[in-house]
Chains A and B, each alone.
Chain A
Amino acid sequence: GDSVTQMEGPVTLSEEAFLTINCTYTATGYPSLFWYVQYPGEGLQLLLKATKADDKGSNKGFEATYRKETTSFHLEKGSVQVSDSAVYFCALSRPNAGNMLTFGGGTRLMVKP
């Protein structure tokens, strides 16, 4: 079945550091890929998405590129802020199979001033 693997946290960075959170997936066909963010005490918010190979999703300084050859969708940001502290989830859906999301285990990011 489908699965998503992402690096375990917590990831602790200083403000303005470079962020990478690795995500790899296993799925049949051509899934859509997503990054969701969960701030403390809140629900999940879509951060960015990519629906086909080589697509780059970007939002709020975060980027991720759909790499079919390596089945990866790593999240990057050039300069993190304290306000980016949250849990980040990589996820996939197979558009022709109900569109439900399969999530990775989540990575907690802590940014120190």
Chain B
Amino acid sequence: DSGVTQTPKHLITATGQRVTLRCSPRSGDLSVYWYQQSLDQGLQFLIQYYNGEERAKGNILERFSAQQFPDLHSELNLSSLELGDSALYFCASSLGQGGSYEQYFGPGTRLTVT
């Protein structure tokens, strides 16, 4: 158990809908990262937050957005969903935002868009 929790574990929804994925980092960790794992794209970095502020963006679509709240939990919002958004979405957390801080991964949320 990494100490990172993600909810829900599974999500099935239809095209065009909007969903919110939630992540609670390990106690004491200030940085949260979101990654997408799909069959065709592999594991890709989406976005990073540190202590409530956006720090880095990767291959995140404009239909996707995220935020980190004062209690440090984070939410990833996916809107106007398409079939290709079906994937496993991982959240990871680390103590800091730089250096070589180890990232701890949650169990993931499996999103299926039908």
Point out residues on A near B: beta carbons under 8 Å: 32, 36, 42-46, 49, 51, 89, 93, 95-106
Contacts and interface: CB of A to CB of B under 8 A. Distances in A.
A95 B102 contact: no
B107 A43 contact: yes
Instruction: Give the top 8 A-B pairs by smallest Cβ distance, nearest first.
Output: A98-B56, A103-B43, A43-B105, A32-B100, A44-B105, A100-B45, A43-B107, A51-B100
A95 B99 contact: yes
B18 interface: no
A97 B4 CA distance: 23
A34 B31 CA distance: 18
A43 to B, nearest CB: 4
Interface in B72-114: 90, 92, 94, 96-108
B interface, size bucket: 20 to 34
A46 B103 contact: yes
A99 B31 contact: yes
A43 B103 CA distance: 12
Nearest to B56: A98
Contacts of A49: 100, 102
B42 interface: yes
Given A43-B108, A44-B90, A101 B55 contact: no
A111 B22 CA distance: 35
